[in-house]
Amino acid sequence: MNNITPHLPTFLQEPLFWVLALLVFAIWQFIRNKLRMDVVALLVMAFFSLSGILTVQEVFAGLSDPNVVLIALLFIVGEGLVRTGIAYQVSEWLMRVAGASEVRVLVLLMLSIAVLGSFMSSTGIVAIFIPVVLAICSSMGISPKRLMMPLSVAGLISGMMTLIATPPNLVAHSELVKAGLEGLNFFSFTPLGLAVLLMGIGYMLIARKWLDNGESVEVVSQQGQSMSQLIAEYQLQGRAKMVVVNPKSPVIGRTIYELKLRNEHHLNVIAIQRLKRLSRVTISAFGETNLREKDILLMDIGVSDEKFASLCEMLGLKQIEVKGDYFSSHSKSVGMAEVALMPEAESIGKTISELGFRSRYGLSVVGFKRDNEILTQDIIHTPLKLGDVLLVMGVWSQIQEMDKQNKDFFLLKTPVESKQAVPAASQAPHAIFSVLTMVVLMITGLVPNVMAALIACLMLGKFRCVDMKSAYESIHWPSLILIVGMMPFSIAMQKTGGVHLVVEGFLQATSSLGTYGILAGMFVLTALISAFISNTATAILMMPIAIGIAQKLGYSPVPFAMTVAMAASAAFITPVSSPVNTMVLAPAGYKFMDFVKVGLPFAILVMGLSVFLIPVLFPL
């Protein structure tokens, strides 16, 4: 580019022109949404390097930024909380205590989302709670519109609760440190976040009435077939039993295969809950599995209740209550799936018993479909034909393993509960301990924040809350590329005088409004930009400007950086402002103007509260 610069008009020779032109191009591409945001970020990096505006070191400075590494590590921490079922346990607790009170549901829902989102991805939390909210709305006979908006609003507010809750907060911390200041601590945002949360709960108790007329509606799940529907289709109701192995039971020390429970007694062991230290873990029921004292057996029975009671007495088993439809209450660990035969499979013509299905796959066949008709009689001795569909049941990990390794059957359909499978439920206490360790290290400042997160990730790995595969897969690489790709803008704007130009122009437009007016103007500008592009990209662009304005006025940069961070999270106005808004759009049946109608007044309230509280909490 340097070779052609002398032949261009004077204004085109200015690096600032190209920086601003590239900024307009990037924002326009973000709004059009034709190219992926991470691809736009990579194009930006390439242009800055090839044009000579920035050095290669400056272009790739984001890759060595500790805060980028911290964000990646926090994705893994969040995965640990999901894999151990902590988030799902909160959702189940909410369903239990909700009762028939819509007000109670809304309050507890927003509190739960805000707390969980303080430590893990708000997008992941909202994804977990969408089916929960749909189920609650269905049981209460109310429109999802009345609860889905509070769900997304709480997800956004969770980003205002702690330093690690959302990337814009970490960007604020990073820019303050670069400016030679101490930066923010773990709970710097918490007083503001709590105030906004309380205001948000009160506001949504009123605003929910604007979203529908209060009519009862039938909520239809858009996510596929559930376990309950498969249970009904395969006529499994009433066949589920749970028993405990008594101390002197004759089955202790013997394998399932030796006992011939299914062949001789029509008792099919689906899975086993076994004591391990202080909790129970669910294990697969292979034919070679030895039964132990105090094991809980999840069974599918083919005999009458009277006959089953007699068999329990003979085998030294004690019946316990089964909650929910056919083990549906155990869907975090035990699941089902439909499988079909591969063409030319060696299993064709053989029976389930001849295949040793349980011993081979660790799964039980509980349903059999042929020519769209459900077979119920002696299914384990029925020769298999091409086109037959088997309903298998067992622990989720074995279902996944069968799908990956098996050559005779292929996975036809899994219920929606498969998305909520918790592979490390027994490690939940260790996950909580790991996260608390990270928080304590961050609060005390004993180690840098990135090291605290790394220690937590290593602990999660040591305790088997995550494995290497799930850790790598949990990192949202497009988000990291977007952050790394937008960081050169901050450097280029400062290097070419762009920050100074914007600061001067902003102050000329708002200087007559006073300090609170300047903060309000900065909040409005940030919120408007983040309504159309990523809040992370917005924070990266606006943070140097905010700090420049503070330094120009002779004020502390902290309240100005806090204002930008709060405004970047206040993405309530449109359904495209944030992924959490987009996620609730279809399930609730919202229109674009629903977000404007509810989100715009609330964004104004958040702005007023932030502009009032920030100078009080962080003196100018």
**Gap between the Cα atoms of 245 and 253, Å rounded:** 11
Domain of residue 17 covers 1-30
Type of residue at 576: V
- Residue 131 falls inside a structural domain: yes
Phi and psi torsions of 378, nearest 5°: 50, 50
pLDDT tens for 41-73 read 889 889 888 888 888 988 888 888 787 888 788
Distances (CA, A) of 545 to 184, 525, 541, 542, 582: 18, 11, 7, 5, 29
Q: Of 67-81, 239-253, 441-455, which one has max mean pLDDT?
A: 239-253
User: Residue 614 and residue 591: Cα distance in Å, rounded?
Assistant: 34
Both 575 and 478 in one domain: the answer is yes
Please tell me which of 84-93, 94-103, 441-450 the model is most confident about, judged by mean pLDDT: 441-450
Could you please report the per-residue DSSP string of 311-342? HHHHHTEEEEPPPSSTTGGGTTTEEEEEEEEP
* Phi, psi torsion values for 395, nearest 5 degrees: -70, 150
SS3 label, residue 171: helix
- 473 within 8 A of 452, measured Cβ to Cβ: no
The span from the CA of 149 to the CA of 208, in Å, is: 8
Residue 508, by phi and psi: left (phi above 0), alpha (psi -120 to 50) or beta? alpha
pLDDT of residue 218 exceeding 50, the answer is no
Judge if 387 and 459 occupy the same domain: no
Same domain, 471 and 495: yes
Average pLDDT over residues 4-14: 55
Residue 431 lies in a domain: no
Same domain for 499 and 572, yes or no, is yes
Please identify, among 420, 441, 476, the residue that sits at the C-terminal boundary of a domain: 420
Residues 458 and 601 in one domain: yes
Q: Are residues 339 and 310 in the same domain?
A: no
DSSP secondary structure, 111-155, as one string: HHHHHHHTTS-HHHHHHHHHHHHHHHHHHHT--THHHHHHHHHHH
- The model's pLDDT over 522-578, given as tens digits with 9 standing for 90+, comes to 898 888 877 766 777 788 888 888 888 888 888 999 999 999 999 988 988 877 667
Query: Would you say residue 289 lies in a domain?
Result: yes
So what's the pLDDT on residue 275? Answer: 85
The CA distance from 18 to 570, in Å, is 30
Collect all residues with Cβ–Cβ distance below 8 Å to 150 and sequence separation of at least 6: 106, 109, 110, 200, 201, 204, 208
Same domain membership, residue 155 and residue 256: no
Q: Residue for token digits 């035990």? A: 334
| Rg, C-alpha atoms of the chain | 29
Same domain, 613 and 526: yes
Give residue 208's pLDDT band: very low, low, confident or very high (50, 70, 90).
confident
For residue 47, tell me if it sits in a domain.
no
pLDDT of res. 36: 79
Segment 497-510, tens digit of pLDDT: 776 777 778 777 77
- Tell me, yes or no, whether 82 and 116 share the same domain: yes
Q: Is the model's pLDDT at 589 over the cut of 50?
A: yes
Instruction: Please count the other Cβ atoms lying within 10 Å of the Cβ belonging to residue 21.
Output: 12
- What pLDDT band is residue 220 in, cutting at 50, 70 and 90? very low
| Residue that is last in its domain, among 300, 330, 360 | 330
Where residue 285 sits, what CATH number does that domain have?
A: 3.30.70.1450
The DSSP letter of residue 527 is: H
Q: Does the structure show a pLDDT above 90 at 402?
A: no
Q: What is the dihedral of CA 123, 126, 128, 131, to 10 degrees?
A: -140
Residue with tokens 């309050």: 107
Q: Which residues have CB under 8 Å from 494's CB, separation 6+? A: 544
The Cα 172–Cα 206 span in angstroms is 33
pLDDT (0 to 100) of residue 7: 52
Strand segments, DSSP code E, in 317-454 are 317-320, 334-341, 364-370, 373-375, 389-395, 409-413
* Domain shared by 326 and 357, yes or no: no
- Pairing assessment for the beta strands 409-413 and 279-284 based on DSSP bridges: unpaired
Provide mean pLDDT across the span 111-134: 79
Query: What pLDDT, on the 0 to 100 scale, is given for residue 153?
Result: 93
Check whether 186 has a pLDDT greater than 70: yes
pLDDT class for 478, splitting at 50, 70, 90?
confident
C-alpha span between 270 and 5 (Å, rounded): 74
Closest CA to 488 of 73, 72, 67, 47: 47
44 found inside a domain = no
Of 311, 330, 349, the last residue of a domain is 330
In a domain, 436, yes or no: no
**pLDDT (tens digit per residue) in 32-42:** 767 777 888 88
**287 shares its domain with 338:** no
pLDDT grade, residue 204 (50/70/90)? Answer: very high
The number of angstroms, rounded, from the C-alpha of 342 to the middle of its chain's C-alpha atoms is 35
Specify the pTM.
0.66
- The total of structural domains in the chain comes to 4
Q: Is the pLDDT of residue 222 over 50?
A: no
Q: Is residue 189 part of a domain?
A: yes
Q: Do residues 555 and 507 lie in contact, with contact meaning Cβ atoms separated by under 8 Å? A: no
611 lies in the same domain as 462: yes
- Measured on CA atoms in the order 174, 180, 181, 185, is the torsion positive or negative? positive
What the block records as the tokens of 114 is 């805000």
What is residue 219's predicted lDDT score, i.e. its pLDDT?
45
Looking at the domain assignment, is residue 430 inside a domain?
no
Task: For residues 168 and 398, give the distance between their C-alpha atoms in angstroms, rounded to a whole number.
Answer: 40
